């Protein structure tokens, strides 16, 4: 355990959902249109909207791979070309790791890790919006049920200042979104989460910008409440872009296939969803209309930020009348960013300022860090004050600003 002189607060921790996360509190009249379990070929499979869902190949999370087992892969240290299945190593029963599914056990695990606390985000949940985009009422019903489970098992805020589970918000139907945001805020939610990308249109047949004025009642409610919205990596409409580049070769196309090798998506458009989402929120006026809104980018990396800020600066130079405030300053004032551990931290500090960078370990995911506090080794050139800001103070500022 590294002694930093303070206990870090992780902006990106995860739970592995209980099998009844989407079903325990579902409206019985919507159950068949949302999530169900079925035995298919002798394996337990998740049905979403009546179809087998493949976002997570093992949606029961039992057995599960060790945290950080893919760290070398994501650091680009796979010179021998080891396949992902081998990298996962031996899988273990999830019952051996109660902290992945039980709040009290997770608190004990935080103590073992020398951590003060963490924000908690979904694992399976961030892939479900896209699966239900053709049935908007079912989409909202599913996340209402999910959030009820989340508060029951983990708690939006249990008052100990250590774990804050973020309820998932779908925007597709603005009226239903307002109802759900109101409900979870009344239940004590301290941070909300949505997936980046365009929003499924309410007719279920397309997409629309999250900056469309129809969503102003949702953004306005969030801004007025003073609760931040996290945009966490997940499956969204931008995944369709990869289909335009399909080759037919196994593993060589552009589309998303869970845990399969495919070089093209790693090179071509991995940052498109989050970068374009912030471009939309700024260029379509959300940050102009709601200058107190606080947003956080979680598990999207951050090397897209310098390019986005350059493009915003260029757009302002050409069309200053399109913005009430300078868009780069809007971003720097209203957006917090959690970089990947492999990102260029010094460059990001220069781009957005030390006060807007968040420590996020992605624990206990395979692509994260096996020991969250080891994130500090990726910022060796930062001063003790800067290290404390990233590893603890900034996320607390995000929650309380």
Residue 394, SS3? Answer: helix
**Alpha helix locations (H) across 101-135?**
103-113, 128-131
Strands 35-40 and 43-48: antiparallel
Instruction: Name every residue whose Cβ is closer than 8 Å to that of residue 133 and which is 6 or more positions away in sequence.
Output: 139, 172, 200, 204, 237
Number of H helices, E strands in the chain: 15, 12
Average of pLDDT values for 316-339? 97
What is the per-residue pLDDT across 338-362, written as a single tens digit (0 to 9) for each?
999 999 999 999 999 999 999 999 9
Does pLDDT of 178 surpass 70?
Answer: yes
What pLDDT, on a 0 to 100 scale, did the predictor assign at position 243? 75
Measured in whole angstroms, the distance separating CA 5 from the mean position of its chain's CA atoms is: 29
Say yes or no to pLDDT of 253 above 80: no
Q: Number of C-alpha atoms within 13 angstroms, CB side, residue 281? A: 26
Please count the other Cβ atoms lying within 10 Å of the Cβ belonging to residue 361. Answer: 27
More confident of the two residues 72 and 256 = 72
pLDDT-above-90 percentage for the chain: 85
Query: Do the beta carbons of residue 184 and residue 156 sit within 8 Å?
Result: yes
Q: What is the pLDDT of residue 58?
A: 93
pLDDT (average), residues 299-327: 97
HSE at residue 253, side-chain half, CA atoms within 13 A, is 16
Query: What's the pLDDT tens digit per position in 131-162?
Result: 999 999 999 999 999 999 999 999 999 999 99
User: How far, in Å, CA of 231 to CA of 276, rounded?
Assistant: 12
Q: Give yes or no for a contact between 303 and 346, defined as CB atoms under 8 angstroms apart.
A: no
Mean pLDDT score across all residues of the chain: 93
Three-state DSSP state, 166 = coil
Q: State yes or no: pLDDT of 209 exceeds 90.
A: yes
pTM for this prediction:
0.95
For residue 237, what pLDDT band results from cuts at 50, 70 and 90?
confident
Tokens of 132: 């239900």
Report, as an integer, the average pLDDT of 168-179: 98
Q: Which of 14, 46, 48, 58 is nearest to 142 (CA)?
A: 48
- Residue 272 is predicted with a pLDDT of 85
Tokens of 153: 């098992």
Domains identified in the chain and CATH numbers: 9-400 (3.20.20.140)
Asked whether the beta carbons of 274 and 231 are under 8 A apart, the reply is yes
Q: Which band of pLDDT confidence, cut at 50, 70 and 90, is reported for residue 368?
A: very high
Q: What digits encode the pLDDT tens for the residues 96-139? A: 999 999 999 999 999 999 999 999 999 999 999 999 999 999 99
What integer pLDDT is reported at residue 166 of this predicted model?
99
pLDDT at 274 (0 to 100): 96
Indicate the pLDDT class of residue 223, thresholds 50, 70 and 90: very high
Is 70 exceeded by the pLDDT of residue 259? no
Query: Residue 56, exposed/middle/buried by CB under 10 A (0-12, 13-18, 19+)?
Result: middle
Which residues share a beta bridge with 194?
231
Per-residue pLDDT, 4: 94
Please give the C-alpha separations between residue 185 and each of 168, 188, 280, 328, in angstroms, as whole numbers: 12, 5, 25, 30
Residue 264 scores a pLDDT above 90: no
CA dist list (Å): 262 to 57, 232, 239, 355: 17, 22, 14, 35
Write down the pLDDT at residue 299: 97
Which contiguous run of DSSP H or E holds residue 163? Answer: strand 163-165
Higher pLDDT: 269 or 315? It is: 315
């Amino acid at each position: 355990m590294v002694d930093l002189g303070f206990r870090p607060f992780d902006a990106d921790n995860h739970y592995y959902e209980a099998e009844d996360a989407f079903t325990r509190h579902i409206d019985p009249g919507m159950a068949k249109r949302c999530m169900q379990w079925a035995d298919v070929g002798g394996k337990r499979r998740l049905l979403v909207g009546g179809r087998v869902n493949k976002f997570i190949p093992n949606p029961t999370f039992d057995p599960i791979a060790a945290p950080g087992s893919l760290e070398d892969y994501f650091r680009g240290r796979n010179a021998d070309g080891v396949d992902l299945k081998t990298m996962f190593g031996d899988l273990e029963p999830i019952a051996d790791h109660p902290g992945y599914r039980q709040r009290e056990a997770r608190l004990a695990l935080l103590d073992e890790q020398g951590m003060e606390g963490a924000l908690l985000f979904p694992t399976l949940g961030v892939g479900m919006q896209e699966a239900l985009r053709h049935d908007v009422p079912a989409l909202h019903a599913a996340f209402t049920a999910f959030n009820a489970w989340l508060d029951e098992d983990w708690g939006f805020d249990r008052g100990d200042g250590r774990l804050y589970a973020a309820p998932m918000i779908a925007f597709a139907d603005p009226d239903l979104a307002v109802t759900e945001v109101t409900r979870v805020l009344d239940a004590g939610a301290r941070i909300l989460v949505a997936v980046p990308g365009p929003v499924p249109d309410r007719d279920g047949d397309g997409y629309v910008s999250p900056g469309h004025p129809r969503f102003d009642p949702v953004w306005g409610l969030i801004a007025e409440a003073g609760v931040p919205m996290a945009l966490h990596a997940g499956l969204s409409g931008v995944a369709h872009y990869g289909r335009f580049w399909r080759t037919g070769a196994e593993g060589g196309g552009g589309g998303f296939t869970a845990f399969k090798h495919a070089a093209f998506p790693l090179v071509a458009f991995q940052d498109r969803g989050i970068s374009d989402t912030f471009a939309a929120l700024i260029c379509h006026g959300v940050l102009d209309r709601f200058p107190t809104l606080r947003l956080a980018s979680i598990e999207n990396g951050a090397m897209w930020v310098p390019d986005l800020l350059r493009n915003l600066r260029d757009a302002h130079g050409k069309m200053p009348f399109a913005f009430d405030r300078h868009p780069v300053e809007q971003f720097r004032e209203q957006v917090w960013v959690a970089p990947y551990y492999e990102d260029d931290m010094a460059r990001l500090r220069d781009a957005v300022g030390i006060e807007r960078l968040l420590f996020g370990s992605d624990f206990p995911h395979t692509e994260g860090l096996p020991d969250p506090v080891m994130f500090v080794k990726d910022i060796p050139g930062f001063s003790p004050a800067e290290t404390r800001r990233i590893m603890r103070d900034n996320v607390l500022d995000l929650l309380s600003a």
